[in-house]
Amino acid sequence: MMKPGLALAVLMTLAACSAQAPAPPAPKALSCEASATGAVTAEGAWLREQKDINASSAAYFSLCNGGTAPATLTDLSTPVAAIAMFHQSSRDDKGIVSMAPAGEITLAPGERVVFAPGGRHVMLMSLRGPIASGDHAELTLRFADGATIAVDAVAKSNVEAATQEDH
């Protein structure tokens, strides 16, 4: 049995330790609460600049299911690309990053799903033209129940995009 004094000393040591640890990054996800009058909303949409139309770009946003029924994101379209696919990036134990189709994404009521570099993203292929930093593109998100959400995404430079990287 530990003496109360010793237990306190251990606790204080732990507290000192955690005070020196680097502060965790501020959570990007805002709160998301379901309510009877709520709906699915998309926030903070952006895409990556891409000057080479034979290369790909990617779009990101944060989705909140504010409604009381599950919502399944099935499809996305945008005038800037002929092909838009949901992908999931992952890093294996050797540090190799790969990506795979993410398929449909179902959000429970009150659930938030964040699309961000290094994780879920919308791969944009067969670009209709170069995408420059500051350009706007409309993203139309389509759900299994037929509902759609249109959201305005602004293109960020690759330098800016790198600061959004999730680690």
* 99 makes contact with Cu ion (CB under 5 A): yes
Q: Following CA atoms 13, 19, 23, 28 in sequence, which dihedral angle do they give, to the nearest 10 degrees?
A: 80
* 123 makes contact with Cu ion (CB under 5 A): yes
Question: Nearer to Cu ion by C-beta: 32 or 59?
Answer: 59
Question: Nearer to Cu ion by C-beta: 56 or 74?
Answer: 56
CB 161 within 8 A of CB 134: no
Q: What is the largest CA-CA distance in the chain?
A: 71
Residues in binding contact with Cu ion, number by CB under 5 A: 3
Please list every residue from 8 through 37 that binds Cu ion, using CB under 5 A. none
- Considering only 24-32, 67-75, 99-107, 137-145, which stretch makes contact with Cu ion by CB under 5 A? 99-107
- Give residue for tokens 């999730």: 166
Alpha helices by DSSP H, listed for the chain, are: 4-20, 158-162
* 45 makes contact with Cu ion (CB under 5 A): no
Residue 33's Cβ-side half-sphere holds a number of Cα atoms within 13 Å equal to 4
* 112 makes contact with Cu ion (CB under 5 A): no
Q: How far is the CB of 59 from Cu ion (least distance, A)?
A: 10
Residues at the contact surface with Cu ion, assessed by CB under 5 A: 87, 99, 123
